[in-house]
Structure 1
Amino acid sequence: MRIKVIFESEKIFSLNKDYRRYFISFLKKVFEEANLKEIYQRKEYKPFTFSVWLGKNFKIDEELNVSKEISFLFSSGDPVIITNFYNGVIKLKKENFKIIREKLRIKDINLLSYKKINRDRAIFKTIGVCVLNNPEASKNDFKRWYIIPTDDIEKFNEILFKRTNERYQFLIKKSDTHRIRFNLIEDYPIKEIIVKHYKGYVRGFKGIFELKGSPEILQFIYDYGFGVRTGQGFGLLEIVKEL
């Protein structure tokens, strides 16, 4: 289930490249309005993911030049979370959301049509950046701590299986495990992405790829996000087609 929130500003403005934290602040405010502020108070897997589209006039320079209209796409497989997010945004609609010096107003809120995955193979594309980390590596070893498919596809799939099933068991409250495999697609190269985040840097990837697994685990990834740090604006996918 997905909700799109459209923000509008009076003029085109610039954002720091570490922009996700401003929208995390917005999410915290929404959940406070919905009496769910404890979601961000606990250090645990978050039952949602999100991504921000910075508009058709978006340009990268020393800062990010942003359009007057920004879209915030929120996704969760939990109807309670979706309902509370929607109600929280409604309560904030009359308020301005401030990013640095710029004021944004909530222009519109749209509940998007639900997509049900029925097959065990599907092509996905990234909307945001996807992030996965290697629990066997040191956090001080940036290139090994963050792993992308083109580093070592077999190791990547081993970690993807572990992380995905950990999140699935925690969020869905089921003890079963599901196979999941990431396959590269010829002619669709995966792009390494380094992004600024909370005054540090995160390594991830973007691209189009195939996932193989049970329909239930593919649906879980689609609803709750791919990899880790989904509650910080990473891991949102769109489905291209089922195979």
Structure 2
Amino acid sequence: MRIHIKFQTQTFPLKYRMMIVSLIKEALQLSSKEYFHKIYASNNKKRPFSFGVYLHDYEIQADVFQVNGYVGVTVASPDPEFMLYFYNGIMSMDEFQYKTFHMSRMKVQMVHTQPVTGSVVKMKTLSPLLIQNKQAKPVLVDEPSFEKELNYISDMILREIRGIGLKQPLRFMNKNMKKVVVKENIHSGNETLFFTAYQGIFLLNGHPEDLEFLSEAGLGFRSSQGFGAVEVI
């Protein structure tokens, strides 16, 4: 399940991920404070959603996007409860303010998703795929440990959200992935963190139920913070 929202705004931050996290939090709190506290009770808890951002017709000036078109936000989740509360909350928000940035909601629509029908799917990233080792160091896509760490975090996500880990190991086949370095303020304060991630198109082999779930929950690390959102193509 996924929802696409269009926003009208004049300016949008280059480091936008925490702004969208704040948007999602506000929508959930407006809809159900009980559910909001359920999924944000612990900082270490895996949240059942991923998101990607698309900007239409923009220019970069200093540390902001000057938006001539619109900002599109796609939020995906395998959890119907999350989607219900998020949809109800976002529909009650005509305007959203984050620091000095202001957005007006234009359009909200449910998005049709390509079903997973086999053990191999072709996917593209909606937000960069982030894979790290236990020391929180980036793992490059051509390193032997990339697939190992992808399986580790995927199994953890499935266990925490679905209750059952991977039904079979994942195999990652790099088709056309480009390395990107993302600058973001993840924590409070002004400290800028750098994340080495990948965006593009790839093949993923695994159990169809795992692939379906991960295509909405997100792949890799920090999937509820604007990394690892994917769609089946």
Corresponding residue for residue 148 of structure 1: 140
| Gap runs ≥5 in structure 1 | 140-144
Q: Does 1:8 align with 2:8?
A: yes
**Which residues in structure 2 correspond to 1:84-123 (within 5 Å)?**
84-93=85-94, 96-123=95-122
Q: TM-score, normalised by structure 2?
A: 0.88
1:121–1:212: 8 Å Cα contact kept in structure 2? yes
Equivalent of 1:236 in 220, 229, 232: 229
Q: Secondary structure at the match of 1:77?
A: coil
**Structure with the higher fraction of residues in strand conformation:** 2
Label 1:149 to 1:175 Cα distance change in 2 as closer, same or farther (>3 A): closer
The CA deviation string for residues 72-115 of structure 1, in whole angstroms up to 9 with x for no partner, is 1000011111111101111223xx21244342111111011243
1:58–1:64: 8 Å Cα contact kept in structure 2? no
Equivalent of 2:14 in 14, 17, 40: 17
CA distance in 1, matches of 2:7, 2:46: 27
Q: Secondary structure at the match of 2:228?
A: coil
Q: Does 1:201 align with 2:194?
A: yes
Matched letter for residue 146 of structure 1? P
2:58–2:66: 8 Å Cα contact kept in structure 1? yes
- CA shift for structure 1 position 148: 2.8
Identity percentage of aligned residues: 23
2:4–2:72: 8 Å Cα contact kept in structure 1? yes
Equivalent of 1:177 in 151, 160, 167: 167
The CA deviation string for residues 185-208 of structure 1, in whole angstroms up to 9 with x for no partner, is 2xx3x2111111112222211111
Q: Secondary structure at the match of 2:107?
A: strand
CA distance in 2, matches of 1:58, 1:72: 15
Label 1:53 to 1:81 Cα distance change in 2 as closer, same or farther (>3 A): same
Moved over 4 A (4+): none
Corresponding residue for residue 53 of structure 2: 52
Q: Does 1:215 align with 2:208?
A: yes
Q: TM-score, normalised by structure 1?
A: 0.85
- CA shift for structure 1 position 175: 5.0
- CA shift for structure 1 position 61: 4.8
Corresponding residue for residue 142 of structure 1: none
- CA shift for structure 1 position 177: 3.5
1:165–1:178: 8 Å Cα contact kept in structure 2? no
Report the more deviating stretch, 59-68 or 37-46.
59-68
- CA shift for structure 1 position 49: 0.3
The CA deviation string for residues 107-165 of structure 1, in whole angstroms up to 9 with x for no partner, is 11101124320100111111111111101x3x4xxxxx111312x0x211111111101
Q: CA RMSD in A?
A: 1.7
Label 1:51 to 1:205 Cα distance change in 2 as closer, same or farther (>3 A): same
Equivalent of 1:225 in 214, 218, 229: 218
CA distance in 2, matches of 1:119, 1:4: 26
Q: Aligned pairs, how many?
A: 222
| Gap runs ≥5 in structure 2 | 186-191
Q: Does 1:162 align with 2:152?
A: yes
Label 1:105 to 1:180 Cα distance change in 2 as closer, same or farther (>3 A): same
Equivalent of 1:27 in 1, 20, 24: 24
Corresponding residue for residue 77 of structure 1: 78
Label 1:16 to 1:120 Cα distance change in 2 as closer, same or farther (>3 A): same
